[in-house]
Chain A
Amino acid sequence: MAKYAARLNRIFWIVALAAFVVGLYGLFSRIAFGHTRANYGSYVPWGLWVAAYIYMIGLSAGAFLFSTLVYVFNIRRVSGEGTVAAPAVGIADGAAFERERLEQVGKLALFTALVTLIGALICIWMDLGHPERAWKLVFQTSFRSIMGWMIWFYAAYFVLLLVELWLALRADLIARSNKSALARFLTFGRRDVSAAALAADRRLLRILGSVGVVLAIAFHGSVGAIFGVVAARPYWNSALTPIMFLAGALLSGGALLTFITAIWGPEPGSEIHRNLMRFLGQIVLGLLALDVLLEWAEFSIGLWNASPGESASLQLVLFGPYWWAFWIIHVGFGVIVPAILLIFLRRKIWAVALAGALIAVTFLAVRLNVIIPGLAIPELPGLEAAFHGPGLTTSYLPSLSEWLLFVWAIGLAALIFLAGRRILPIIHTER
């Protein structure tokens, strides 16, 4: 795995750069032509960019919640069976060494949460009809709107992420200060590395992480609630919606982190790395089961009642023109294949990594299948036929410009991740 990791890292640089460059056309198109090159309209008002937003923000919330395993729940050892040993009370030498490695995964998780959040915010910012008025969301917020709450939750979350990441990196930044001017600058003059100072950092991290657990649940729950409260869309209008958003965030974010740990985690090839991968793989498998259960609940109840509003959307997901997005991409490559890999090949790092990658990537189909089918049912029969014009239709397939802007946001997030990993002491092996 170790020798592949370096090669994969190079491949990812190339892919991310290519995505960034190709995606620039999407950005150009959005700036030059506004929304006229996008295929969403007035009857399907939200499209790929909103789906991309909830997808990436879910990755962020999920990755963040995984970081709390280290900083809040204090998991310090993972055994050879991939299970968690009881939090070490008296830390033996070996355990202390291992904790350090686990903390690196914590940093990796925090950094992943940060870059996916940036990608998500770019997508939703570009989706606004007036991006230049985005500041109104913060300074003229209406707290009657769930969206208003969400804005404040993730503003707080953004700040919390930055502070946590800084605290987690501080000791390493100081260690690197002699070699790197950037690291020296980023310490912001706080160079105390005494045991007491580091313990204070850790305590603060724990407090912030605990706040963060609540905040991440509140903010991703509110993303789900944005949809859950809309009575006009029976498919969304369910108390289960925010819960499914959270379960999906944990699953997709955890899966992404598993994949990232496989390549950029601490000391690829070592016993610790192997144990870590198995540990993450088992958590992801459990979360996958939870997600399938919730999905079953939603589909079985919604179809059984056959209330026209909700079942129409579900039918669209299962048997509509884009049935393959559900059956092949989501069920096939997002559930069945990863489940097989995680159950039967759980000892193979590549299998666990592949399962993580598949779940994380295919989860976009799940997010699209939340947004589009909820909107694609006309609110009044005959609405589509009553008047014609661009956007006055319920059929929707993202345009090339939409895809390219999404690709650009992903490319940018990936480049920030790769560059950050290179210049910041997120994972390091020299110590």
Chain B
Amino acid sequence: MAESEKAPTSRRGVLGALAGTVGAALAVGVLGKRPDAQAAAPIAPAARPQAAANAAPLTSDLLGRMHSELARALAKPRQERRWVMVIDLRKCVGCHACTIACVAENKLPPGVVYRPVLEEEIGTYPNVTRRFIPRPCMQCDNPPCTPVCPVHATWKNEEGIVVVNYDQCIGCRYCLTACPYGARTSDFGYTYTAGTPHALPGILGQGIADDYERVANFEYSKAWDRKGGGSPIGNARKCHFCTHRIAEGMLPACVTTCIGRATMFGDVNDPDSLVAETIARPNVMRLKEEMGTEPRVYYLL
């Protein structure tokens, strides 16, 4: 939609005319047959099983289930929700789509990453496998990163998410050293387009190519555009389970992008939720349990 608005008027005119012609041709029945258009009257479900499945509410898919659970959780008061993430390592194929979805969603600059996927090779030939461990922020119940902050810039919020106040953070990076999972990175102000050529303003070159870097992200439901060296440049940054998406009834970007439905998300205070069910299994584990951080990201082995 946005693209067609940007397109030159003349081209849009041509396309419109073309579409009109095709439509007219179909209407007079040039092909001698009733056109098989989507806009036509609904087809009987029995005749088209796939269409029926598409039209039905997405309850059979985990994503659909999580989505409706999210709506249910959002109906509750904030402090009664407890967001957790469960990652099924047997389903993860190591495609890194979650990492990239996160980078795109939060417009992360070079050197900042919220959810890398660690790869590990297990065994010796001929018995070799690989394990992929996506590593978001663990949103620990006993986070070592928050008490070290000297200026109250980071804390665990009432929904169980460890958040950073970019406007308060002074950039001392003490929290980066304190996290046992390496889950915090610092925005040092790098840009992807630094050092690329400048060319015709507004048409070619760095001036137009770095539009992406100048567009604001929407972390913590606020616009942060990284212009002029301001926050979040110079701040500690971390995964926040896409709080801004949750607030709008959307699942975190990494969850919706996961091709194998390996990442599950939901309110653990809801006993009927997918995550509450899955973390009660014996094959559940958490990273560095011995540190007493009580992570709220669970892995299924």
Contacts and interface: CB of A to CB of B under 8 A. Distances in A.
Contacts of B188: 34-36, 38, 41, 129, 390-391
Contact of A144 (B147, B233, B287, B291): B147
Interface string A144-160: 11111001000000000
Chain B CB count within 10 A is highest, among A137, A146, A390, for A390
Interface string A217-250: 0000000001001111100000000000000000
Interface in A370-384: 374-375, 378-383
Q: By DSSP majority rule, is chain B's interface helix, strand, loop, or mixed? A: loop
B171 A391 contact: no
A197 interface: no
B68 to A, nearest CB: 33
Nearest to B110: A389
Contacts of A43: 182
A129 B235 contact: yes
Contact of B186 (A231, A383, A391): A391
A382 B110 CA distance: 19
B180 A231 contact: yes
A130 B149 contact: no
For this complex, into which size category does the number of interface residues on chain A fall? Answer: 35 or more
Contact of B291 (A38, A136, A147, A231): A231
A270 interface: no
B177 A380 contact: no
Given A35-B188, A130-B169, A391-B188, A141 B117 contact: no
A49 B1 CA distance: 50
A145 B190 CA distance: 29
B41 to A, nearest CB: 50
Contacts of B173: 45-46, 129
Nearest to B236: A129
Contact of B178 (A129, A151, A230, A386): A230
B176 A390 contact: no
B185 A392 contact: yes
For this complex, into which size category does the number of interface residues on chain B fall? Answer: 35 or more
B171 A128 contact: yes
B91 interface: no
A181 interface: no
A147 B112 contact: no
27 contacts: A34-B189, A34-B229, A34-B234, A35-B188, A36-B188, A41-B188, A42-B176, A45-B177, A127-B172, A128-B171, A129-B171, A130-B169, A130-B170, A130-B171, A133-B170, A134-B170, A136-B170, A142-B150, A145-B150, A147-B148, A231-B144, A232-B291, A380-B133, A382-B118, A389-B112, A390-B110, A391-B188
Interface of A: 34-36, 38, 41-43, 45-46, 127-130, 133-134, 136-137, 140-142, 144-148, 151, 226, 229-233, 374-375, 378-383, 385-387, 389-392
Interface of B: 99, 110-113, 116-120, 133, 135, 144, 147-152, 168-174, 176-182, 184-190, 194, 229, 231, 233-236, 287, 291
